Structure 1
Amino acid sequence: MQDLLQSRRYLLVLDDVWDDKQPTWQRLKSVQACGAKGASILVTTRLPTVAAVMGTMPPHELSMLSDNDCWELFKYQAFGHNEVEQVELVDIGKEIVKKCGGVPLAAKALGGLLRFKRERKEWVYVKESNLWNLPHDENSIMPALRLSYLNLPIKLGQCFAYCAIFPKDEKIRKQYLIELWMANGFISSNEILDAEEVGDGVWRELYWRSLFHDIKTDKSGKVISFQQALSTCIKMLFIALLHCEERRQLSSSIGDLKHLRYLNLSWGRFETLPESLCKLWNLLMLKLDGCRELQKLPNSSTRLMALQQLSLKDCDKLSSLPLHIRKLTSLRILTTFFVGKEKGFHLAELGALKLKGDLHIIHLERVKSVMDAQKANMSSKQLIELGLKWERNDEESELEEKGEDIVEVLQPDTQQLESLMVKGYKGANFPRWMFSSSLKQLVIKGCKEVEGLHEALRHMTALKRLELNDLPKLEFLPDCFGNLSLLRQLTIGFCDKLRCLPTSLSHSNLNSLWIYGCHPDLEKRCEKEIGEDWPKIAHIPRITVGGEGYDSD
């Protein structure tokens, strides 16, 4: 932070601060003292003690919402846009709003609580609840949130109560919480949705009731973390959860945990796992992300018939999966699949699996025919992220049919696909589906024969990030960047024949452009102020060409 703020005039906003410990503030203050004259820090908080500790001038206290404004917020949550308001409920609702003390979150929470309640007695119950009479701080939202919690349906109440395992004010990862709900049997699939989609619906309903807040999203707008608005005090009797970070060996006694549903061994330093792990008949999720020393999975892994998720991201030394992975018929998420040379390891093993989420397929050079590729039944996979990787192996490459025809039949359900990575592809042209309009991220690496990108790039209106790396025959880029209004990041590396940039880059909305290892002519044309292509890119805030970095003035 010091390097970032050094000698700069900055405005730093610290939002919703709860820590009122003076030593913490003093440490942070000493770091920030490196700024230039005029540097300022704005703090928002609900606690007067925080303002007293951090403030160097009198605090500005925001007034509470008026009853009318509070009613409008409550009414929107309780009735929505189009519903005709019942007069008798309106009168009770306005009495409830007065108890909110002008606090927006309280009005939202109670409006969400009553969203689907239309009986007069249900509204009266909220208005006359004894919780309003419990001791609490002035302007506290706790009675409203307690009412919202106590009136949850059984399934929602169980899921929310489970959040008690997290410390107060901890950032909770949404995906992780849903996995824990699944592991403990709080949610399950139905005839239409699988368990993870049910969990997503439960999370959204709890958020709608204002029991979750302070959400953080990724670049695509998906929620990745949040905090609880109400700290529950319900203790869980049993948590089917095991973490084994940094361990080199896993005891064979793991097989005795017959009821274990969730096993997270990520970042362990195992080379192998005990065969006894395959006795965990109830295991739903096995996470092995970042186990960089792991060389093989237990031979009997296909006995884990309940397994729904097998996550193998960044397992650098793993080179194959167990024989006949297709036997794991409950599997919905398989992050990595290695194509093998022998039957039982072919791409056809994916055929019957109803996969979704992320999937990276490695060793596609071992796919010998279009028929073999078709057996993967990729069109049935509802993937969000797909990686396709060919390794360099000239002997195997000579045996395969035309690579372009094989890739054509590897098309998943592109309506849901958001991210695609292609590495080592040996064809000269890409199929149309790889430039789907739904894609938000496209990464193309090490494709030695590719000379140009598909004209369909101009229709990728959702694209936010494009990376082109190690494409030695790429001579030009399509002149369509003005169409890609959401594109923010463009990376071009080791494209030896690319000598100039398209004119349409001048109409792009890029935030970042990175060019490296390309033809010297291209780097010269992008020199600041004097390069021939500089007018095309001068509006981009962050530019790196070769070793030179430029920030927009």
Structure 2
Amino acid sequence: MADALLSIVLDRLASLIQQQIHQEVSLVVGVETEIQSLTDTLQVVRAVVADAEKRQVKEELVKVWLQRLKDIAYQMDDVLDEWSTSLLKSQIERAESPSMSKKKVSSCIPSPCICFKRVAGRRDIALKIKDIKQEVDDIANQSNRFNFTSRFSNEEPQRLITISAVDISEVCGRDKDRDTILRQLLGESCEQNLGPYIISLVGLGGVGKTTLAQLAFNHDEVKAHFDKRIWVCVSDPFVPIRILRAILEALQGQSSDLHDPEALQQKIQESIDGKKFLLVLDDVWNEDYQLWEQLKNCLKCGGGGSRILVTTRNESVARMMMSTYVHPLGSLSLDQSRALFSQIAFLRKGAEKAEELKEIGEKIADKCKGLPLAVKALGSLMQSKNNKQDWENVLNSEMWELDVFEKKLSPALLLSYYDLPPPLKQCFSYCAVFPKDHTVQIDHLIKLWMAQSYLDSKSDREMETIGREYFENLAARSFFQDFEKDKEGNIVSCKMHDIVHDFAQFLTNNECLIVEDDCENLKTNLSRQKSRHATVIVHGSTRSSFSVNNARNLHTLLVVSNGYRIDSFPLDSFQQFKYLRAMDLRGNVSIEELPREVGEFIHLRYLNLSYCTRLNTLPETISELCNLQTLDVRSCGGLTKLPQGIGSLINLRHLEAQDCPNLRGLPKGVGRLTSLRTLSGFIVGGENGSDVCKIEEMRGLKELRELEITALSKVEDAGEAEKAGLKHNKQLYGLTLHFRLRSSQPVEMKEVAEALQPHPDLKSLRIVCYQVEEWPRWMMEPSLPQLTQLCLSVCSKCRCLPPLGELPLLEILEIGSMKQVKYVGGEFLGSSSKIAFPRLKHLSFAAMSEWENWEVKEEKGRKVMPCLLSLKIKHSPNLTAVPDLHHQLSFYLTLSFLAFSSVLTFFFSLVIFI
């Protein structure tokens, strides 16, 4: 991790020196020499960091030395970012002032006052660099006493090797364990006079307890057997009120603002009274019977046959809970470990190579001591290695001799971690900022990595693309699990195993903190000077009375509500967070306005205010955040306007402002945001026409990947719409056109739609509230050959569907709320191709209130929807005829059955709700 930090600092130093030369701006006389000396020293220190990171596990003094190095690296990064921001602001001022000279920046200062302030600022930066240089020299001298092994190299970092992520949903070799647990869950229960029937799964961390519990929890017989199923991740500390609240939320299917234990227990008892329930308490550590008793007493009123399934690493926990049945989950056998390892490690390796490495692989698998998590981690690591010497190096690594990890962490994780390139080490360890069992949204994670400058922005590739590649590499090495995918197979969210989370926290030491607002030590934790990233878990309307004094070094502040509405969170101390790179306050309904001081957060790159429903305005000072990359104000119902100076945010890449009903338009200047990749909620028109952005400003946004335009009904004419230049934007792959309802002439709307024809490379399209009988010409012709997803919604005047069957790559089609459509026939399939809908996998219709007939006429030699996997029809009460697609699909399913009999049930689902 220290290596990655130093890499960021060195890259930034080199970039700033070049930028300073280009802009002809200097700091203070003599500082250039200090900077060159600092760079040389950092290069020398970095050469020994890899050895230091391995030795810190056994040598406490080395660990202290590394921590000191990381602290100074963070300080350097802050100072260099301050310097970079100063140069960037000078560049912006020069570009915005036509009267400025294009010579030296120093000659462009508009007033002596600003000139003095800027010179003073540069001097302050220069003095900080000198102080840091002295500290780094001391750290370098101190390193000599440890006799570190140097591994200095001028070679460019190796490009990441792509390996395949193996997402094994079932625990290998656990058939008997699964059957035993199912018998305990489904069997007849005895009289429960002494309390609920408790089953405890006991085993080492990483042995597969949670996965086995998930397997049982989601089993079809279990789903049918119990009236209520509840899953709660407990972890440490055991806080009864938090667990009670989680149980109630699972029972009600929504968040609860109750915080009184008695009220919570009463609501739970009302929900389970007389009903047969299954409660899973995952990862229990607490051995205090009094705390457990508070929870147990409110569960006694459940119906006969109710069960509580507990997973724990400690057998004494099972005894304390007075378990009815304790199931010890042992390690995998040698044969099972070897089989699982081979399944992953030899994937895509030829038979000859697998035979060559088989014996070494078996020995590596044996060292994992039968822990599935360790086997998967090592198997994933070896999947990318074909050299026999590399395999022997892993087998003979000294990491296997580290006793410190026997109880808490696996050497397999260390081996896999140290094999990562420095940027991936940094990205992985950052994930310690998320709470245990937290569902991590991949898009959110990548934007947080971007905010911390962990992704290489010098590359020609998009930072977002690099972030996705980094995540997929970490996932392939088993650092993540429980993947959720979209219909296209892309991972959208995941979790971390608690053992992996413990490992990440070990790596970050005290840098990443997770604190709860009802924990007594909150104030103490947030006051630690070493903390760089903090997550505050807020429980509903509990008033957060803590202070954030001295938490001045935070780079990340995430406020997690776990689905609850945050009624109170203090903003009065936020001006202290001057080094923040990422701030996430989503769901805080107490915020009506942000303090003006937010404009002083010059390092801020990620600001999430989504679902802050009372937020009515943003301060103009936000326009001073020239480093800001992401501004998220989705679903801020009270928001009426954005800062007029938003055009100054030249580094903004993602502006998300959809579902803000009181927002009447975006300010002028959005067209200057040429770095934008995402623009959702672009609102056409507005009450103050002179102050809002016109649709023609879209023309300058050449880097847009995703765009949502709303209130298109306010576009004056087709000429204005054509100025958006959508058909020339080759980068755009996702587009939403939302017309909104209006009383104007439908002819105008059709002409506007014609003028908004997208580029042929578009991949995803949504059309909403299109109120014309005829579709635009580009919808009636196969003019979008790359389209894979299409949604047509609330197009209530359209009487027929366009010939979508001719789209060659379309995989997902959603059609809804078309109340004029009564018949779907050949026009839907098109006529020019031999296969209608050749790639379509998922088709859904919803709220087709007048739809009566769906007919597919058979034509010799023509296929219809040969790849269809799911068909859903909802709320279409008048539909009386459905084509015989099942017969056609049967042949496809028969072929699938021959090749994939074990997964047949996932190939086709027909769901009709009338």
TM-score range, shorter chain: 0.7 to 0.9
For residues 63 and 90 of structure 1, the distance between their equivalents in structure 2, rounded to whole angstroms, comes to 22
Q: Secondary structure at the match of 1:221?
A: coil
- Superimposed CA distance per residue, residues 40-84 of structure 1 (whole angstroms, 9 cap, x where no aligned partner): 8888877767877596546374661434x5345434544541355
Deviation at 1:276, TM superposition (A): 0.9
Change (3 A) 1:16 1:194: farther
For residues 422 and 478 of structure 1, the distance between their equivalents in structure 2, rounded to whole angstroms, comes to 22
Name whichever of 241-250 and 306-315 sits farther off. 241-250
For residues 120 and 200 of structure 1, the distance between their equivalents in structure 2, rounded to whole angstroms, comes to 30
For residues 221 and 19 of structure 1, the distance between their equivalents in structure 2, rounded to whole angstroms, comes to 33
The corresponding residue for 1:402 is 751
Q: What amino acid sits opposite 2:403 in the alignment?
A: L
Candidates 767, 770, 773, aligned match of 1:424: 770
Cα pair 1:347 1:373 within 8 Å, conserved: no
The corresponding residue for 2:852 is 499
Change (3 A) 1:491 1:359: same
Cα pair 2:668 2:694 within 8 Å, conserved: no
Spell out the pairing of 1:100-115 with structure 2 (5 A cutoff).
Answer: 100-115=368-383
Name whichever of 214-223 and 280-289 sits farther off. 214-223
Q: What amino acid sits opposite 2:225 in the alignment?
A: R
Deviation at 1:349, TM superposition (A): 1.5
The corresponding residue for 1:242 is 583
For residues 437 and 169 of structure 1, the distance between their equivalents in structure 2, rounded to whole angstroms, comes to 38
Change (3 A) 1:20 1:356: farther
The corresponding residue for 1:468 is 816
For residues 54 and 485 of structure 1, the distance between their equivalents in structure 2, rounded to whole angstroms, comes to 54
The corresponding residue for 2:337 is 70
Are positions 1:214 and 2:482 aligned together? yes
Structure 2 unpaired stretches of 5+: 1-216, 232-279, 287-291, 513-531, 533-553, 556-580, 830-835, 858-863, 887-907
Are positions 1:273 and 2:632 aligned together? no
Cα pair 1:513 1:544 within 8 Å, conserved: yes
Deviation at 1:370, TM superposition (A): 5.5
Are positions 1:199 and 2:467 aligned together? yes
Change (3 A) 1:457 1:390: same
Q: Secondary structure at the match of 1:300?
A: helix
- Superimposed CA distance per residue, residues 434-477 of structure 1 (whole angstroms, 9 cap, x where no aligned partner): 886743452321342x22112224757754452321443x2311
Deviation at 1:403, TM superposition (A): 4.4
Q: What amino acid sits opposite 2:841 in the alignment?
A: L
Are positions 1:454 and 2:802 aligned together? yes
Candidates 357, 360, 378, aligned match of 2:708: 360
For residues 884 and 294 of structure 2, the distance between their equivalents in structure 1, rounded to whole angstroms, comes to 47
Q: Secondary structure at the match of 1:197?
A: helix
Change (3 A) 1:363 1:290: closer
Q: What amino acid sits opposite 2:582 in the alignment?
A: L
Spell out the pairing of 1:27-426 with structure 2 (5 A cutoff).
Answer: 33-34=302-303, 56-57=324-325, 59=327, 61=329, 64-67=332-335, 69-75=336-342, 77-78=344-345, 80-82=347-349, 85=353, 91-117=359-385, 118=387, 120=389, 123-124=392-393, 127-136=396-405, 142-229=410-497, 230=500, 231=502, 232-233=504-505, 234=508, 235=511, 237=532, 238-239=554-555, 240-244=581-585, 245-246=588-589, 247-268=591-612, 269-340=614-685, 345-365=693-713, 366=715, 368-369=717-718, 372-373=721-722, 375-383=724-732, 385-395=734-744, 402-403=751-752, 405-407=754-756, 409-411=757-759, 413-414=761-762, 416-417=763-764, 419-426=765-772
Q: Secondary structure at the match of 1:204?
A: helix
The corresponding residue for 1:513 is 873
Change (3 A) 1:126 1:156: farther
Deviation at 1:250, TM superposition (A): 1.2
Cα pair 1:310 1:335 within 8 Å, conserved: yes
Change (3 A) 1:485 1:199: closer
Q: What amino acid sits opposite 1:486 in the alignment?
A: K
Cα pair 2:659 2:681 within 8 Å, conserved: no
Q: Secondary structure at the match of 2:707?
A: strand
Deviation at 1:376, TM superposition (A): 2.2
Cα pair 1:321 1:338 within 8 Å, conserved: yes
Change (3 A) 1:148 1:82: closer
Aligned Cα root-mean-square deviation (Å): 4.3
Q: Secondary structure at the match of 1:203?
A: helix
Structure 1 unpaired stretches of 5+: 517-522, 527-531, 546-553
Are positions 1:444 and 2:763 aligned together? no
For residues 660 and 621 of structure 2, the distance between their equivalents in structure 1, rounded to whole angstroms, comes to 21
Change (3 A) 1:435 1:241: same
Deviation at 1:96, TM superposition (A): 2.0
Q: Which has the larger radius of gyration?
A: 2
For residues 337 and 615 of structure 2, the distance between their equivalents in structure 1, rounded to whole angstroms, comes to 57
For residues 348 and 355 of structure 1, the distance between their equivalents in structure 2, rounded to whole angstroms, comes to 15
Q: Secondary structure at the match of 2:665?
A: coil
Name whichever of 259-268 and 355-364 sits farther off. 355-364
Candidates 841, 851, 862, aligned match of 1:486: 841
For residues 427 and 406 of structure 1, the distance between their equivalents in structure 2, rounded to whole angstroms, comes to 17
Spell out the pairing of 1:4-43 with structure 2 (5 A cutoff).
Answer: 9-10=225-226, 17-19=282-284, 26=296, 33-34=302-303
The corresponding residue for 1:520 is none
Q: What amino acid sits opposite 2:801 in the alignment?
A: L
Q: What amino acid sits opposite 1:101 in the alignment?
A: K
* Structure showing the higher helix proportion among its residues: 2
For residues 416 and 620 of structure 2, the distance between their equivalents in structure 1, rounded to whole angstroms, comes to 47
Name whichever of 145-154 and 319-328 sits farther off. 145-154
Cα pair 1:506 1:535 within 8 Å, conserved: no
Number of equivalenced pairs:
518
Q: What amino acid sits opposite 2:874 in the alignment?
A: W
For residues 40 and 441 of structure 1, the distance between their equivalents in structure 2, rounded to whole angstroms, comes to 45
Q: What amino acid sits opposite 2:768 in the alignment?
A: V
Name whichever of 324-333 and 361-370 sits farther off. 361-370
